[in-house]
Homo-oligomer: A and B are copies of this chain.
Amino acid sequence: MSTEVNPIMNNLIEKMDIRLTYQRKIILNTLIENVGKHLSANEIYTLIKDKENIIGMATIYRTIDMLLKKGVVIKHDFGDSAAKYEIEIENTRNHHHLICKKCGKVIEASGLIKDDFYERLLEEKGFQCTDYKLKIFGYCDKCRVSAKAN
């Protein structure tokens, strides 16, 4: 049942030190069940509604906002209007995204950034990096053959 407090969630909640409401449990569970996926606020809303639980859209935005500030959720902006959210457990962190300009598919990748880049940023720019996002645009395997930007 969707409000069961599993170990992963327990862990998160402890870390965050927040008031645990029915709605937050459902939202967290939905995000956990979809680790690695990129969900829009509306997709989260629909997933929850499909389990016969209805919660307000505003609650979703407010909860996600809080989760973002707690660093539990990551926000993505791919080209398509609505922002996408993804829970960050262990190291879904700092992965990269290959975005196909033809079919829109998003593929994961990693290890493309120079290893010393945290240090270099701090030394050269005085910038303390906490997090980064690398989005790579181009054509996926399937689309490559027929592809030509319009």
Task: State the A residues within 8 Å of B (CB).
Answer: 69, 71, 75, 77, 79, 98, 100-101, 107, 109, 112-114, 117, 120-121, 124-141, 144, 147, 149-150
B130 adjacent to A139 (CB under 8 Å): yes
B109 adjacent to A125 (CB under 8 Å): yes
Q: How many subunits of this chain does the assembly comprise?
A: 2
Which of A107, A124, A131, A138 gathers the greatest number of chain B CB atoms within 10 Å?
Answer: A138
Which of A71, A77, A107 gathers the greatest number of chain B CB atoms within 10 Å?
Answer: A77
A121 adjacent to B140 (CB under 8 Å): no
A134 adjacent to B131 (CB under 8 Å): no
Which B-chain residue is minimally distant from A70 (CB atoms)?
B149
Cα of A114 to Cα of B128 in the assembled complex, Å:
20
Cα of A101 to Cα of B71 in the assembled complex, Å:
12
Q: Which of B69, B71, B101, B121 is the one whose CB lies under 8 Å from A136?
A: B121
